[in-house]
Amino acid sequence: MKSSRNLFQLVACLLLCSLPAIAQSPATDAKQFSKDGLTFSYPVGWSIEDSSNEDLQQLTLTNPRSEAQLRLFVHRGRISADKLAQAKKSLIDPYLASTFKQFEDMGAKPVRSDASLDIGSTKAEGVIIRAMLDEPGAAEIYWALINQRVVVLTLFGPDKALKQAAPVWDQLRKSLQIAESQPADKPTPKPTPK
């Protein structure tokens, strides 16, 4: 009986000691970005550079201990799904071509392959551009139409840094949300005087 009581005390002690560790989930170590209808979570230790303008929300996430870089572009204009192909041609394709050319200009022989993943709850198309510079690396570029706004996410850097940044990438893309557009307040018509 005494040994079972000691076992119970040991188990209770282990549970009590582990509660602080259980309570510190990754979500508690997260910061929240929220601006102009765009929200997402990202970890403490990462910082955001906001280069937005009136046409585009442009954010870059970096960490001084990582060579990986995450970029987020959200076009402020709203479009319907049938206009996404046109937006891809004018906004996304030039960005893909520019990224590919950057690798070529650095002396790499980039290889492009199609990819897909989810941004929030939306299926996103994408491209992975792999290249060998001093070490192997890649640029992963994904785009989707979320609540009528074109969203482009980019993750790039050396393979080792990309692997280490994978949880940050996942947190960003899974938590990303775009608020639905709110119709402008319509003025209430005034009664005409009689």
Q: State the total domains in the chain.
A: 1
The pLDDT confidence band at residue 186, using thresholds 50, 70 and 90, is very low
Mean pLDDT of the chain: 83
Q: Is residue 111 included in any domain, yes or no?
A: yes
Instruction: Give the predicted TM-score (pTM) of the model.
Output: 0.78
Q: Does residue 20 lie in a domain region?
A: no
Q: Taking Cα atoms as reference points, which of 142, 151, 149, 143 lies closest to residue 180?
A: 149
pLDDT of amino acid 193: 59
Distance CA 191, CA 194 (A): 9
In sequence order, which ranges of the chain are alpha helices (DSSP H)? 2-23, 84-87, 93-105, 159-175
Would 135 be classed as within a structural domain? yes
Task: With respect to residue 63, please indicate whether it lies within any of the assigned structural domains.
Answer: yes
Q: Is the pLDDT of residue 13 over 50?
A: no
In the chain, the N- to C-terminal Cα span, in Å, equals 95
- What's the pLDDT at 194? 55
Q: pLDDT (tens digit, 9 = 90+) per residue, 72-101?
A: 999 999 999 999 999 999 999 999 999 999
**Which CATH number covers residue 106?**
3.40.1000
Residue with tokens 């290249």: 131
Q: Assess contact for 177 and 149: CB atoms under 8 A.
A: no
pLDDT tens per residue, range 108-145: 999 999 999 999 999 999 999 999 888 899 999 999 99
Q: Is residue 33 part of a domain?
A: no
| pLDDT the model gives residue 134 | 83
Is 66 domain-assigned?
yes
